[in-house]
Structure 1
Amino acid sequence: MSEGQDVSLAAQGRVFVELLEHWGLDEPSVVAHDFGGAVALRAHLLHGAPYRRLALVDPVALAPWGSPFFRLVGANAEVFEQLPPALHGALVREYVTSASHKGLHPATLDALVAPWLGDAGQPAFYRQIAQADQRHTDDVQGRYRELDLPVLICWGAEDTWIPPAKGRELAGLVPRARLQTVERAGHLVQEDAPAELTAALTAFLS
């Protein structure tokens, strides 16, 4: 949340490797959602982090990515940072809401929005979008056939942020991947269909 802080996918991939080493985890099973998918893939393919198995839930993994709104904000982050707080709050609430197919419980929506409000949260929201560069997935996209471990790809059937077709494309690039579509779920599968996602992950991880 600090000005000047590197929160790029490249930085997060390195930090994830350091965390695994700090925790002393030997070949953990990893579950990663959205940007976390890109982080986990970079950590494994570029930095050699060993996994026992990998579950990717609606991951950012294939070009092109980023909605028109996402690209607009990324190119004009300093302008958006200056929005009146009330307008910024409404924008973030609408943005987060659009990630759900069924609609989020008000308390859940409040919790997801809260970090991005206030004097620290508002500029941080736009800074992290500005640092989201597709080149960080371009670095690894050509190496997905090197993934030699069990991979589960879960995708919300109603994801409007990253279309389900991307899940089918990704599954076709990973040799040992299995694709599981989660019905009646948007991008936030864990909120829209928690029981179905938990069942899929439990079966895969066990």
Structure 2
Amino acid sequence: MPHLDVELSAGTIEYEDTGGDGPVAVLLHGVAMDGSLWRDVVAALRPDIRCVVPTLPLGGHRRPMRPDADLSVLGVARLVAEFLERLDLTDVTLAMNDWGGAQALVADGRAERIGKLVITSCEAFENYPPGLPGANLRASARVPGGLAAAFGLLKLAPMRRLPMTWGWMTKRPVPREVMDAWFRPLWTSPEIRRDLRKYVRGVPPVGELLHWADALRSFDRPALVAWAAEDRVMPPEHGLRLAGLLPRGQLVQIPDSYTLIPEDQPERLAELMRAFVLDGDVMDGSGGSGGSGGSAA
């Protein structure tokens, strides 16, 4: 896919777009990654679905944002809404993994361009930044030079498989060249580290986080919650709770995967997403439907 860019209020956002006349899916990644998280899912979906994959300013972006940009969780969620508007994308399927900011987007009343929602293992409720890796990231962001030191250690492959870094994010190691590309902006750019620090320190109080999740009750369009059954960073019960909040939510538990389902189980996730985007429903292996608030293995 060609690398494109669009100028938003916070700065230049890079994205990829498979094009075509199919329904549109916008795929969002988490902290210290870029859109390549979705590369295998996109490869499977692109014959039927137009995939638009922005790189959000969460540390894996190559172009620093403006110094005064609001890069709090809510600020980045508003950038997603602005991105959809600038590209004039409507009735999109908005999918996210790891990053939970789309909940803030709905709570902020900016979901009018979203026709369907796909929530895969991600931040929710009070779990921002998530789990042990999130606690490590938060501590690093509070110390001068902390992010440079923390990500500098990730130049060493064994450090990437520790529970406090990326070891609980995927069951199998992410290819080294992919992860190197994710981390390189943080290794080389003080401005990118500044942007990430603003995001990590821009998490609101727990009461606001819980409000965001509860606001999903107002999203009356189809929603798929696909959660890693063995997730050790995003509690599986959070997937069940989110599906219960969504009036038209379907829950699917994905086995043999940690948080980054597009890395661990891209074929299964692509299968589910194709069925959901094209038909509005998902089916399990025996032909049963996930149903509203239900589960399909």
Give the TM-score band, short-chain normalised.
0.7 to 0.9
Cα distance, 1:155 vs structure 2: 0.9
Cα distance, 1:28 vs structure 2: 1.5
Whole-Å separation in 1 of the counterparts to 2:241 and 2:255 = 18
Higher relative contact order (CA 8 A, sep 6+): 1
Q: Report the number of matched residues.
A: 203
1:131 to 202, 208, 211: 202
For 1:72-91, list aligned pairs within 5 A.
Answer: 73-74=137-138, 77-79=141-143, 81-82=145-146, 85=149, 88-91=151-154
1:162 to 224, 230, 234: 234
**Percent pairwise identity:** 23
| TM-superposition CA deviations, 1:156-175 (whole Å, max 9, x none) | 12221112111112112212
The answer to whether the aligner puts 1:7 opposite 2:7 as a matched pair is: no
- Unaligned stretches of 5+ in structure 1? none
For 1:21-170, list aligned pairs within 5 A.
Answer: 21-35=85-99, 37-38=100-101, 40-50=102-112, 51-65=114-128, 66-68=130-132, 70-71=134-135, 73-74=137-138, 77-79=141-143, 81-82=145-146, 85=149, 88-91=151-154, 94=160, 95-120=165-190, 121-135=192-206, 137-170=209-242
Letter in 2 for 1:60: E
Give 4+ residue runs of structure 1 displaced > 6 Å after superposition: none
Structure with bigger strand share is 2
Moved more, 112-121 or 177-186: 112-121
| TM-score normalized by the length of structure 2 | 0.60
The answer to whether the aligner puts 1:180 opposite 2:244 as a matched pair is: no
- Unaligned stretches of 5+ in structure 2? 1-63, 279-297
| TM-superposition CA deviations, 1:78-110 (whole Å, max 9, x none) | 42525775x642258531343111222222222
Q: Is the 8 A contact 2:127 2:234 kept in 1?
A: no
| TM-score normalized by the length of structure 1 | 0.83
| TM-superposition CA deviations, 1:33-83 (whole Å, max 9, x none) | 222x32x23223322322211111112222244335534542562425257
RMSD of aligned Cα (Å) = 2.6
